[in-house]
Structure 1
Amino acid sequence: MVQSMTGFASAQGADAHAAWAWEIRSVNGKGVDVRLRLPDWIEGLEPDVRAAFQGRIARGSVTVSLKVTTKEGSGAATLDPEALDAVLDAMARIEAEAMARGISLAPSTAAEIVGLRGMLTSGQEAPDTATLREAVMADLPPLVEAFVAMRAEEGAAIAALLDAQLAEIAALVETARAAAIAREGEQRERLRQQLERVTQNADGADPDRVAQELALIVVKSDITEEIDRLTAHVDAARRLLAEDGPVGRKLDFLMQEFNREANTLCSKAGSAPLTEAGLGLKTVIDRMREQVQNVE
């Protein structure tokens, strides 16, 4: 089953002490790259989060984010006596030094002193990080399942597009085959005329050599191999789409082969219908290659 490399999932949770939000995003990547953005004050998160993704994705750049916000407690704020003593001692030294230098300072108010950083301490108790870690991690497995399910859903949609594009390619290959057959009569007549001109204007030319050159022209314009290879590539791509497991790299390589054969066919066309079929092939192959870039 085809899997997409792009996906998204999110979840929120809360308990008596904190609220949290998980988010998983993934985009295309050459290999597996799981990037974590986790609170560093909750110990033991990273190894467990990475373990949750092992065996679930084969390709893609995945970013996992967890934001945790602690709730405000009901405890009243209290004045820190040590911080107060330090501030008052500092103020006394500053005022004494100012008076010695003849500098007059404006009096400080209690509100200004209380507003200084560290003067008040919250009555809120710090949450138990072990309990919090267990709570937030309980939300991760179903979130990973939802993330994988979304990648599978997008993969199914991509597979349907690829299958339709393969049908277009197969139809264009048959059109090219028919155009090549129709071209044979015209090509034979053109070669006959060329041979007649050569033999009439090449006194002393080696007939065998002339025949060899004309045979070479015929071989170079033959597209039988390109038609056969394109047909084989269509069959190979359909088999890959039916496989379980990652097939993106194989499909990407196959798209290069598709493009190579289409280019060769265009270069050998020699007729408007065949050229049109070749250009049509290149257009569909380009569209298909864009979709393949999203396949895991």
Structure 2
Amino acid sequence: MTRSMTAFANCSDEQDWGTCVWEIRSVNHRYLDIQIKLPEELRSIENNIRNRFASHVKRGKLECVLRCKPSQNQQTEICVNEDYASAIIRACTSISKTLHQPSEMNAIEVLKWPGVVEASQVDFTQLARGALNLFDSALESLCETRQSEGVRLQQMLEERLLAMRQIVKGERQRRPQIVQQTRDKLIKKLEALNASYDKDRFEQEMVYLAQKMDVDEELDRLESHFTEIEDIFKRDEPVGRRLDFIMQEFNREANTLGAKSTDIETTQASVELKVLVEQMREQVQNIE
């Protein structure tokens, strides 16, 4: 089963503990490259996220971003250091007794004093747990997108594979005709020159020329690669690298077919094969 390396997933959730939004982008890459951006308060879940990625994705460059906001109930709680505030009030009262015209002290001034109001301690435990649960949903959505895109890529590859099969089949059927055409062409040239020739030697040269023109081995290898690709499509594992290697083999055989060509039809067949191989190779780059 083929899976694409290109996908996107976005999941958000709002609960009593706060709001979380996950965004995951996946593009093609030779290896597995994971980039994670988390709030500093939730850095503790990074290794957990990497492990979950590794268990579901084998290749691709992944960019993962988490945006979180704790609930207002936690953020608006005010913690006052009452002991410290009482000490300040006592000190101000004592000093006021020594002043001729002391000014009145109010609660706002006491709260403004550094250290009286302490930052509220937000409990990020529930937020981290909720973020991980939401991440599982985002990862599932990403994998579903990669799989559906992989199915579409496989269909495109199968269409081009069928076209290549037709070309190879046509070339195999034409081989006897090509040898006969080459033989007739040489005989006509000799007759046009009114030159006498040794028929035995001519047959020997025809055998040598037929060997140079023989592409049965290349056509056999192409058909072998067709069968291998069909087998690869059935595997439940990453197959992108293996397909990329077969694309190189396809291109090599198509080049050899063109190099041995002695007629325009074979040359055109070689070009058509290379065009199809290039189209397939571009799609294979996106397969995991």
Same fold at TM > 0.5: yes
1:168 to 160, 163, 175: 163
Q: Which amino acid aligns with 2:259?
A: S
- Aligned equivalents of 1:131 and 1:34: distance in 2? 25
Question: How far has the Cα of 1:142 moved from its partner?
Answer: 2.1
5+ long unaligned stretches in structure 1: 83-113
Q: TM-score, normalised by structure 2?
A: 0.77
Per mean C-alpha deviation after superposition, the further-off stretch among 127-136 and 212-221 is 212-221
Question: How far has the Cα of 1:119 moved from its partner?
Answer: 8.3
- Aligned equivalents of 1:214 and 1:181: distance in 2? 13
2:252 to 235, 260, 264: 260
Q: Which amino acid aligns with 2:241?
A: R
Superposition CA RMSD, Å: 3.3
- Aligned equivalents of 1:70 and 1:121: distance in 2? 24
Q: 1:175, 1:277 within 8 Å by CA — same for their partners in 2?
A: no
Question: Percent same amino acid among aligned pairs?
Answer: 30
Q: TM-score, normalised by structure 1?
A: 0.75
Q: Which residue of 2 aligns with 1:247?
A: 239
Q: Which amino acid aligns with 1:230?
A: L
- Aligned equivalents of 1:169 and 1:14: distance in 2? 53
5+ long unaligned stretches in structure 2: 86-108
The within-5 A match list for 1:33-52 is 33-52=33-52
- Structure 1 ranges of 4+ moved more than 6 A: 118-124, 194-199
1:224 has 2:219 as partner: no
Q: Which amino acid aligns with 2:159?
A: A
Question: How far has the Cα of 1:218 moved from its partner?
Answer: 2.5
Question: How far has the Cα of 1:185 moved from its partner?
Answer: 1.3
Q: 1:20, 1:136 within 8 Å by CA — same for their partners in 2?
A: yes
Question: How far has the Cα of 1:159 moved from its partner?
Answer: 1.0
Aligned with 2:56: secondary structure? coil
- Aligned equivalents of 1:199 and 1:233: distance in 2? 48
Q: 1:12, 1:19 within 8 Å by CA — same for their partners in 2?
A: yes
Change (3 A) 1:199 1:224: farther
- Aligned equivalents of 1:119 and 1:188: distance in 2? 103
Aligned with 1:244: secondary structure? coil
Q: 1:176, 1:278 within 8 Å by CA — same for their partners in 2?
A: no
Question: How far has the Cα of 1:190 moved from its partner?
Answer: 3.1
Aligned with 1:35: secondary structure? strand
- Aligned equivalents of 2:169 and 2:154: distance in 1? 23
1:221-279 Cα shifts (integer Å, max 9, x gaps) = 21211111111111111111122211111110000111111111112221122222221
Q: 1:8, 1:150 within 8 Å by CA — same for their partners in 2?
A: yes
Q: Which residue of 2 aligns with 1:32?
A: 32
1:100-147 Cα shifts (integer Å, max 9, x gaps) = xxxxxxxxxxxxxx9xxx989988734201221112112112221111
Query: How many matched pairs?
Result: 257
- Aligned equivalents of 1:248 and 1:49: distance in 2? 24
Change (3 A) 1:236 1:196: farther
- Aligned equivalents of 1:219 and 1:74: distance in 2? 88
Q: 1:75, 1:123 within 8 Å by CA — same for their partners in 2?
A: no
Q: Which residue of 2 aligns with 1:273?
A: 265
